[in-house]
Amino acid sequence: MADALDRIESQLQTATSFVTVFGTLTTTSPAHRLKELRQKFAHLAKMVHPDTVPKEYAGKAGEVFNELVTVKEAAEAAILEGTYDDQFVDTFILRSRSEAYECEEGPYKKGDFSFLYKAKNSRSEAVLIKIATRPPHNPWLENERAFARTNKDKYIPRFTDSFFVVDNGRRFHALAIPYLDGYVSLTDILHAHPKGLDPRDAAWICRRVMGQAVLARGLEVVHTAIVPDHVLVHIRSHDPLHIGWGHAIEIEDRTHLLIEKWKNLYPPEMLRKENVNEKADVFMAAQTMLLLFGKNKLPRGIERVLSRCTETSPSRRPKAHEALENLTKAIRNEWGKKYRNLKMP
């Protein structure tokens, strides 16, 4: 009896899912699964109930039994939510002045100067919490928050909260962003298709990439970081989501922040720390497209457009609107207006 009590206590303490406590449920409908769960619970409860163990184990048994009841009730709720088989996720709480966020342990993504955590707010809405990696990076998050607050384009993520996380006396700026399901970054696409995409599959995505340069020009800034991490696309609606605006600078200003892993995508004038304009964005957008195509052979018209966009001299590159118009014309001349579905594993 003591062995069974110890075993069940250990299962409850180390469980990574409800399955590791009660086992796999073989039925499919919620009503049948609830019935099956309760049968499994009754079997375990008999072994740990204080009335069924020797008196010397009654105290411990009471604690284990109460924990088992709590886990069973949570498992019942999970069955109704369809999450019984999911793995448990460790969480921690962050609080702003107006909200409490339950965050999943371990970053979901790492940005250029921040970590992103999946979280839920007090209304159980999915959000991302963006936290500066180091206090000196706080200004970059403030730049991004200020930019998004003054520019309401629907393809720029909005921030719903801004606060500081204090750890060992150090203050880290944090931002809350609604989590939008269905979007993948171009980096995700490159990982899924390491040899590059068929140009027909990449065509619509490439228009979204150049669209970021056009958007930046319309907002009277130079993005300066149009790289695969900063362009997201929705694989069903084909909508873009443009991020990375913490890098944005005024036109004819110079940037002091280059992303080392994407250094080969930067135009020569940025590497020389010169003042830049929209044509720097055009160069980076074209270089990012070439990454998407990989070594696949490009149609002549598209190759011609991208060659102009990646000229060494900015004066020989087209402006962002012209580049997008030329790219769109070349794509439609080659394949028409149809979208091809993007396949992700």
Confidence of residue 207 (pLDDT cuts 50, 70, 90): very high
Tokens of 223: 């993005």
40: Cβ contacts below 8 Å, ≥ 6 apart: 22, 23
- For residue 1, is pLDDT > 70? no
Backbone angles phi, psi at 257, to 5 degrees: -130, 110
Fold assignment, 2-81: Helix Hairpins (1.10.287)
DSSP characters over 59-83: HHHHHHHHHHHHHHHHHHHHHHHT-
- Determine the Cα angle at 133 with ends 127 and 134, to 5°: 135
Q: Would you tell me how many other CB atoms lie within 10 Å of the CB of residue 337?
A: 8
What's the pTM? 0.76
Q: What is the pLDDT of residues 293-336, one digit of tens each?
A: 998 999 999 999 999 999 999 999 999 999 999 999 999 999 98
Q: What is the pLDDT of residues 22-76, one digit of tens each?
A: 999 998 899 999 999 999 999 999 998 988 888 888 888 888 898 899 899 989 9
Fold assignment, 91-178: Phosphorylase Kinase; domain 1 (3.30.200)
The answer as to CATH 3.40.50.720 being correct for domain 183-335 is no
Domain positions in the chain are: 2-81, 91-178, 183-335
